[in-house]
Chain A
């Protein structure tokens, strides 16, 4: 067992060393700024794939709604940090609260009726539908005018309710909590489904979440974006004008402007890295605990596990909520890094399926694998642009520089990153389905 551990640790170490080397090459040959930008997003991707790895690697749940949870985390980052728009609250805050209250009451009532009428056949459906429809219509009467008055309050600068004006680091917790809360309800209704239906249902729900964010302007400003989300780290301008920083940059020997931008990115890196390490530590603890073994037992044989008295559905719900919460934290971190909340950036290819590629390439069921996958896949997602460009240059060599075909392919070359990702995923599934750092299995442990 000891021997195996040493060997596998060596492999993990080697792979991470290669990854760091690749990042260093970017730093030396392209720019340190770009290298840190890639690294920061690598860290966020690693957090996301850690969350997905919990769901897929530990429990075998195919959650195709990662995009939705990342967006929920982002929404939390925006709602926690932005200052409230007092005028909008005066204009329609009460209406919104009342409307939400009506919706919640009708939902609770519907749930109550649903439970009470258990086993009464078709009647159950009609009562629930009736309650939901009536609740929706009443709430529409209250919400409609409130939304109009909020959205017409200074529409060019606000036109939404704003947030709570609290510190930005708090929003990462809130992002996790919000994603967990929504995951709880989604999990309650979808986890009974067969694996591929679960994927389709979660994919659909995440699309609905994005639709809501794009269209409910009173909450999110819709496609008008919320910019200027406060930072947990200093601003470049402040650094450039402070004496100590000018001295520091002189001491190191790089220009103040470049130094400030590097410094800010490094601050983010250390924040993200600490979040990642804390989560990794927790996940490792969980994986090697009785709880983790139970999870894998359920994944490998649901029937046997439930015969042993394990409550499969509620364990699934638990891990679905925890994994989604981690994705929510990552979503909040991403919005913090961008400094803006823009619901149009959420595409399923980038925010759901790419994370899946990370988990599978890295090694599902292994936390270090998931993190490594997050790093490698994001690195290539960015650098694929350069690779794609080079590829097109080589392929179009026989064409003259002014040829319109060459121009067209140079324009569309960035799309090759999708093709490369697909190829990588297919090759891994075929030839190394357990990923770069495979899960530690019991049979190997005992050798």
Chain B
């Protein structure tokens, strides 16, 4: 019996807890991409850099707070900085909308042209961010590091396997739950949210029934700004901030959005967790897990790993390609926004 509990603790420590946190970050990112897709109808390659921008602002505010001695110990200062970075990201997106995206929206250009425009924005933001903050890695997770330490857990329960939960992981999951609940409430219950859904379903019909397209687009960018800056800051808090990584992060996020079905918010959230969990399950070495469960003489010799850990990122791309080929509409098809 104790072996089973040990095995489950092992899984919880190495797969479930980290994947819940990573999946939440991906879910928030994918939700942002999906909203842009549903309302403005293009795949936004600049989304990773928008997240990066939000994170950068958070870091600047955290440095400012730290230098004048403001903190909310044991919680990380990042939580305090979030409102500022959200505001800054929204301002950035509204400026981008006014100067860049609006023109193409009015011209009703093809999605491909729109996508190339977003590549231009991606270049611009990437240069801007790296110019301001540099390219080196920055850690900004101050405050209490662990909620439960592996050694404490072992002492408390007397198990052979430990379970550690970092503060950043818990914060990530809690913030994600709150934010996703808010977004769903907004889309389904408020008048503005309903007008957004109508606009995404059928633009012409929505215009006919008197929905103001400018307002819908501005609200969309505001929501995207909230989602992107929170997702970026949480990711940076959990794994450290490095501008290059955010460019790579676009692909797992696209994968999450597409696996769930682009334009579908429930799908985006589910997709985030699917990507995170499959990355963890496929690269996990099952040796110790099986040693607990199997009789002694069956214990495996190798690592029992499906793919080595270096391929972690690649798994999301493979999933993305498979889903695009087998079921391009995603797992939750037929529903947008």
Contacts and interface: CB of A to CB of B under 8 A. Distances in A.
Interface stretch (A75-83, A104-112, A204-212): A204-212
A144 B304 CA distance: 12
A416 interface: yes
A200 B134 contact: no
B127 A418 contact: yes
B320 A201 contact: yes
A409 B308 CA distance: 39
B308 A426 contact: no
A207 B254 CA distance: 14
Nearest to A384: B127
Instruction: Name which of A62, A197, A433 has the most chain B CB atoms within 10 A of its CB.
Output: A197
A435 to B, nearest CB: 12
Interface stretch (B164-172, B184-192, B284-292, B309-317): B309-317
Interface in B230-267: 247-248, 251, 254-255, 258
Interface in B273-314: 302, 308, 310-311, 313-314
Contact of B103 (A196, A421, A430): A430
Contact of A429 (B111, B113, B134, B308): B113
B132 interface: yes
B328 A193 contact: yes
B119 A208 contact: no
Given A211-B311, A412-B131, A415-B130, A205 B119 contact: no
A334 B108 CA distance: 40
Contacts of B134: 408, 411-412
B116 interface: yes
Interface string A346-379: 0011000100110010000000000000000000
A433 B251 CA distance: 27
B249 to A, nearest CB: 12
Interface in B122-165: 122-128, 130-135
Contacts of B127: 415-422
Contacts of B258: 197, 200
Interface string A184-205: 0000011001111101110111
A306 to B, nearest CB: 18
B24 interface: no
A78 B318 CA distance: 26
B42 interface: yes
A189 B125 CA distance: 33
Contacts of A199: 43, 112, 115
B325 interface: yes
A396 to B, nearest CB: 12
Contact of A200 (B43, B119, B123, B308): B43
Contacts of B316: 204
B100 interface: yes
A250 to B, nearest CB: 46
Which bucket holds chain B's interface residue count?
A: 35 or more
B149 to A, nearest CB: 32
Contact of A196 (B100, B111, B128): B111
Contacts of A422: 120-127
A119 B254 CA distance: 30
User: DSSP majority for the A interface?
Assistant: helix
A8 interface: no
A214 interface: yes
A425 interface: yes
A106 B310 CA distance: 24
A214 B119 CA distance: 26
B117 interface: yes
A212 B116 CA distance: 27
Contacts of B326: 125
A214 B326 CA distance: 28
Contacts of A254: none
A102 interface: no
A43 interface: no
A215 interface: yes
A196 B43 contact: yes
Contacts of B128: 419
Nearest to B126: A418
A421 B123 contact: yes
Nearest to A425: B120
A197 B328 contact: yes
A203 B123 contact: no
A177 interface: no
B110 to A, nearest CB: 8
A423 interface: yes
A209 to B, nearest CB: 10
Contacts of A348: 247
Contacts of B248: 207
B88 interface: no
B120 A426 contact: yes
Nearest to A62: B112
A413 interface: yes
B321 interface: yes
Contacts of A429: 113, 116-117, 120
A422 B254 CA distance: 21
B15 interface: no
Contacts of A207: 248, 251, 313-314, 317
Given A203-B251, A215-B311, A426 B130 contact: no
A426 B121 contact: yes
A195 B112 contact: yes
B324 interface: yes
B257 to A, nearest CB: 9
A105 B227 CA distance: 46
A125 B255 CA distance: 20
A194 B115 CA distance: 13
Nearest to A202: B321
Contacts of B115: 62, 195-196, 199
Contacts of B247: 348-349
Nearest to B327: A125
B103 A413 contact: no
B119 A353 contact: yes
B324 A190 contact: yes
Instruction: Name which of A189, A199, A421 has the most chain B CB atoms within 10 A of its CB.
Output: A199
Given A416-B127, A422-B125, A422-B127, A197 B314 contact: no
A408 B60 CA distance: 15
A419 B310 contact: no
Interface string B85-117: 000000000000000100100000011110111
A194 B42 CA distance: 12
Nearest to A189: B325
Contacts of B320: 200-201, 204
Contacts of B132: 412
B298 to A, nearest CB: 17
16 contacts: A62-B116, A194-B111, A195-B115, A196-B111, A201-B324, A204-B255, A205-B317, A208-B318, A214-B310, A353-B122, A356-B119, A415-B130, A416-B131, A422-B123, A423-B120, A426-B100
In the A-B complex, the 9 residue pairs with the closest CB atoms: A419-B127, A422-B124, A418-B127, A422-B123, A204-B317, A415-B130, A425-B120, A426-B120, A196-B43
